[in-house]
Amino acid sequence: MKELNSEVAQAMKGRSLYLRVPILIYFAYVFVRHLNSHNYESILYPLTVGTYELGYFAFSWMGAFMGILGGLIFQLGVPIVAMLNFYFLGDFFVLFFSFGWLSTILFIVARYVTDARAMGIPLLGPFSERNLSYDWNYFLTQAGLLPYTRLITLFCKVLACVAMPICLIGGLWLLIQVKKNGSREQQRHIL
């Protein structure tokens, strides 16, 4: 644990505490909103939908099923790759930020999985609604998972409720480390 503290202290040296506090407050707000409203969309929603669409486009040449799966892979994969990237770069705050982003994605996936049967969420796209399909209904039907939407939704929400506290607690811990190290630096300069 001592090694981790020194690694974090080194990585956070010279970083502003005050720029990171609003981000944590925002993620706490987003978490509460997601818990209270199934239809909540944070400012990260367009980014989340964009990564899904990019994955869908990248895999669509393999058919609709693989296009939808590719969208999900990109949607979940981008924040996971970001976590790995920022871990190796030593930017632990953005690493924890990525857990918050992953949490919002999981809440959104839960929302769309829940809607797979009712198909009530309005479809968006460059074509008329007549030409669009409900991705999650198609995907879960083809995979034989449509009867399990409640279980899949619960699983996504549980994962989201694990990822967001990692973001909040980890980010708060880092801020405390920055504050402690800043106090030690000031004491060294005084002595």
The domain tally of the chain equals 1
**Greater pLDDT, 55 or 131:** 55
Any domain includes 144: yes
Any domain includes 90: yes
Any domain includes 106: yes
Other beta carbons within 10 angstroms of residue 94's beta carbon come to 18
- Range of 157's domain? 44-117+133-191
Which amino acid type is present at position 49?
V
The 3-class SS string of the chain reads: CHHHHHHHHHHHCCCCCCCCHHHHHHHHHHHHHHHHCCCCCCCCHHHHHHHHHHHHHHHHHHCHHHHHHHHHHHHHHHHHHHHHHHHHHCCHHHHHHHHHHHHHHHHHHHHHHHHHHHCCCCCCCCCCHHHCCCHHHHHHHHHCCHHHHHHHHHHHHHHHHHHHHHHHHHHHHHHHHHHHHHHHHHHHHHC
Q: Tell me what pLDDT residue 179 has.
A: 78
CA atoms within 13 A on the CB side of 76: 14
**Confidence check: pLDDT of 90 > 90:** no
CA atoms within 13 A on the CB side of 46: 1
Any domain includes 148: yes
pLDDT per residue over 27-37, tens digit each? 999 999 999 99
Region 84-97: what's the mean pLDDT?
A: 91
Any domain includes 140: yes
Cβ(125)–Cβ(132) below 8 Å: yes
Any domain includes 69: yes
Reading the block at residue 181, the tokens are 């190290």
Any domain includes 13: no
Any domain includes 128: no
Reading the block at residue 138, the tokens are 């198609």
Which range scores top for mean pLDDT: 7-11, 29-33, 173-177? 29-33
Confidence of residue 5 (pLDDT cuts 50, 70, 90): low
